[in-house]
A = this chain, B = another copy of it.
Amino acid sequence: MDQIELVRDFNRFYTQRLGVLNDHYLGQGRPLGEARLLFEIGDGADLRELRSRLGLDSGYLSRLLRSLGGDGLVAVGPSPSDGRVRTVTLTAAGRAERAELEARSRDSVAGLLDPLTAEQRERLLEAQAQVRRLMRLATVTIDAGPDDTASARGCLQAYAQELDLRFPEGYDPATLIAPGTLTDGTFLLAREDGRPVGCGLWQGSGPVAEIRHVWVSPDARGLGLGRRLLTALEQDAAAHGITTIRLGTHSALTEAIALYRASGYREIPVDDPSPYNQLVFEKGLVL
């Protein structure tokens, strides 16, 4: 079996097992759509928000809520801030039912873990975490785009804020590339499910260009996304005729430095106007 078949086989296996688990804990009169809604309402939510979060038709949502309301599980009322919007909250009965669903779900998972030894459970969790990290990494998209969209600005701002915290001397946001001024180079934005989770850019017209502002959102760290971004930047630069890439970094950014070294960069003497670039690295690119 090749890799693709192995993954498909695992997917089949896992959906089947999950189906058994889910049928077991949801098999209690309540249709799936309503059960999902009970969870998503949480401590009250606007219908508008629920609709977009669950991707439901407004008529369908209305009907689901009426059904739940008929069983006394939810109460729908006007939003205090906007008279057009309606908010839904769980009643005591609704919270009880949600708690029962939660408990059933927990029980069915507990039943799964029960026959395993403590060490086997650890191994299962670690393997699941590994699968998840790699699948998250695989589904992050990296695309070139303008550096002055809201998402791009958000990433760059987060980057600046983080450096300001991590550098003993702080970080002056004016050091950032001015939005919209990147003409010789490419800005790459990484997204997970549409949400921006990282960025980076390269800049320069000659045979030598510089990589700057490589940043990965805290909740997407440990996936290997920094490396993917770096590789994507190198490939894009090489495709634009760049043969040597440089980058400067601060000695406080130890993980970044390790990544650069592991990616084939070698340190060169510092000759850089920026006070933050305490180390400079260089790598030759081949197309």
Contacts and interface: CB of A to CB of B under 8 A. Distances in A.
Interface of A: 3-8, 10-11, 13-15, 17-18, 21, 105-106, 109-110, 112-116, 120-121, 123-125, 127-132, 134-135, 137-140, 224, 228
Chain A interface mostly helix, strand, loop or mixed?
helix
19 contacts: A3-B121, A4-B109, A4-B113, A7-B113, A8-B106, A10-B129, A10-B131, A11-B18, A11-B109, A112-B135, A113-B138, A114-B138, A115-B137, A115-B140, A120-B134, A120-B138, A123-B134, A124-B134, A128-B131
A278 to B, nearest CB: 30
Given A13-B132, A18-B14, A125-B6, A224 B113 contact: no
Contact of A128 (B5, B6, B109, B120): B6
A224 B120 contact: yes
A127 B134 contact: yes
A5 to B, nearest CB: 8
Contacts of A21: 11
Nearest to A106: B4
B17 A18 contact: no
A21 B130 CA distance: 19
A5 B113 CA distance: 12
Contacts of A135: 13-14, 17, 112, 124
Nearest to A111: B138
A258 to B, nearest CB: 17
Given A13-B132, A134-B120, A224-B120, A109 B7 contact: yes
A137 B110 contact: no
A109 B21 CA distance: 24
Contact of A120 (B10, B127, B137): B137
